[in-house]
Amino acid sequence: MRNLIFPALTVMALVACRSAAKDKAVLKTDTIPVKIVSISTDTGSASIHASGLLSTEDEARLSFKIGGIIEKLYVKEGQFVKKGQLLASLKSTEIEAQVSQVQLALEKAQRDYQRASNLYKDSVATLEQLQNAKTGVEIAQKNLQQVAFNQQYSRIYAVSDGFIVRELLHEGEFAGSGNAVLYMRSVSPSSKWILKIGVSDREWASIEKGNNASITVDAFPGKQFKGIVSKKALAADAVSGSFQIELEVEFGKDQPAIGMFGNASITPSKKRIGFSIPYDALLEANGKNGFVFVTDDQKTVKRIPVTILAIDNQQVYIASGLEGHQYVVVSGSAYLDEQSAITIKN
C-alpha cells in the first residue's frame, strides 16, 4: 500500500510543477496595451526659451590713469550718479610731489635758457649751447604736461548718467594703473536696454542676429515687450559653458532697472532639422536629456535616450536619438520595460 502512495505523490508534484511553468509562460507572454504615434522629421523653428538679467548697452569699467592708494570712494553700489560727478580719488602726496619736481625743473631750464641767450648775444656762448638750453626748456614743459595729465586722472569722474553696479576695489587698497575700480552702467533716455541670456550650442547655432523675441519681466506682470537679437557671443562662458546672446528690448514708457530678471522667447529664422513627438511620450527628462519607448514592429519596445532641442506647448522637439525608428509610445509607458510585449490600442 505504501508503494502505491509515493508514486501518486510524485505524479501530483510533477503536475503541479508543469502547471506553474505553464502559468509563468502565460504571464511572460501577456501583452501590454499601448498607444503609439508615427515618428516624423520636423524642420520647424520652435521658440527657444531662456532667461537672464537686464542691463544697458553702455557699460564702463572705470580706472585711474596712474597707480596709487585709493584715498576716497564717494559712491556706493547701486547709487545713481550724474555725468561729471566725482566718484573716487587717489592719495595725492606722490603725484603732487612729482608735479612740484617737474615745475622746479622747468623753472631751472628757463633760467638756463635765459643765461645762454644773454651769453650768446655777448658772443660768449655758442649757437649749439643756446639751442641745447632751448631744448631743455621744451623737454621740461612736456614733462609738466605729462604729470599734470596724470594728476587730472588721479580722480575718477562719471562719464555719463548711470548706476554704480559694483565696487571692484575699496578705500585703502592699491589700484594699479588701468585696473578697474568701479563698474558703471549708463542710463539715459537714449540708452538701449539689453537682456543677456545663456543658450546651448545647438540653440546658439539656430539663432541669428535680427531674430525677433518676446520678453517678459517679473516687475511688469502681464506685459510682453518686443525684443531683437543684437549680439551673439563667439565663445562659451568659462564658468557656465553656455553661449551668451544679447537681446535689445523695447520698453516704451515703462522704466526698468538694471539687474531685473527677464524671460525671453526667441523665434529663430533658421530652420531646425530634428523630430517632434507628443509631450506624453517623454520619460525622465533631465535638462536636455530624456528617454522614450519606441517600437518598429508594433510588437516589442525599446527604451532609448534622446537629446531634447526644445519644448513648445504640447510638443517636444528632439535633436537626436530617434533616427531609424518608426513609432514612439505615448501612453502605457509606465508599465513597460525592455522585455515587454505590446498590443496597439486606438
Q: Residue ranges of the domains in the chain?
A: 30-45+272-344, 49-56+192-267, 60-89+156-186, 93-152
User: What are the backbone dihedrals phi and psi of residue 313, each rounded to the nearest 5 degrees, phi first?
Assistant: 55, -115
What is the fold, at CATH topology level, of the domain defined by 49-56+192-267?
A: Elongation Factor Tu (Ef-tu); domain 3 (2.40.30)
Listed in sequence order, the DSSP H helices in the chain are 2-28, 93-121, 127-152, 201-206
What separation in angstroms does the CA of 248 have from each of 51, 269, 296?
14, 17, 47
39, three cell numbers? 515618428
Q: What is the DSSP letter of 258?
A: T
Q: What are 158-194's pLDDT values in tens digits?
A: 988 888 888 888 888 998 888 889 988 777 656 788 9
Q: What are 309-335's pLDDT values in tens digits?
A: 777 667 787 888 888 888 999 888 778
CATH number belonging to the domain at 93-152, selected among 1.10.287.470, 3.40.50.150, 3.40.109.10, 2.60.40.10 = 1.10.287.470
pLDDT: is 132 or 237 the higher one? 132
User: Which numeric CATH code is attached to 60-89+156-186?
Assistant: 2.40.50.100
Q: Within a 13 Å sphere around the CA of 266, how many CA atoms are in the beta-carbon half? A: 31
- Say whether pLDDT at 299 is over 70: yes
